[in-house]
Amino acid sequence: MTDRISPEHRSWNMSRIRNRDTKPELIVRSLLHRMGYRFRLHRKDLPGKPDIVLPKYRTVIFVHGCFWHRHHNCRYASTPQSHTAFWNAKFATTIERDREVRRQLRKLAWHVIVVWECEITAEHSLQKKISTFLRHY
């Protein structure tokens, strides 16, 4: 199957996808703030520049988009029907990079939470997930 839009327009679309201050990330940050947690953003000295860093708890939070980071069994993690070989390679690289970043952070004694884009709509569940995790540290 061929792409329905021109390569130039596809490039323009892709250039508009942000990697920080996304809506899901802002929602998680707002929730954390309301829960009383204080945090730092995108620390460059940590592997993967985590979206949210809670230094007091030595915990980092990654807010992952289900499509880009391939949330398993999620309806948002669909694969485009055109250029599937390209997309599958891109997704495999992303998954491996995420795995390596988590490994490096654990090696540095940091705890890692991954919040998926689809989890953001259930605020109570997300709040419970975060507070349960942080209660151990």
Residue with tokens 């997930």: 129
CATH number 3.40.960.10 is the correct assignment for the domain at 7-135: yes
The reported pLDDT for the residue numbered 6 is 83
On whether the CB atoms of residues 124 and 31 are closer than 8 A, the answer is: no
Residue 97 vs residues 29, 35, 79, 103, 124: alpha-carbon distances, Å: 24, 30, 19, 10, 30
Phi, psi of 53, rounded to the nearest 5 degrees? -125, 125
Residue 38 vs residues 13, 29, 126: alpha-carbon distances, Å: 34, 9, 17
> What tens digit of pLDDT does each residue of 48-99 get?
999 999 999 999 999 999 999 999 999 999 999 888 999 999 999 999 999 9
pLDDT band at 2 (very low <50, low <70, confident <90, very high): low
Half-sphere exposure of 20 (CA within 13 A, CB side): 9
> What tens digit of pLDDT does each residue of 107-131 get?
999 999 999 999 999 999 999 999 9
On whether the CB atoms of residues 51 and 41 are closer than 8 A, the answer is: yes
Evaluate if residue 8 carries a pLDDT over 70. Answer: yes
Domain boundaries, the chain: 7-135
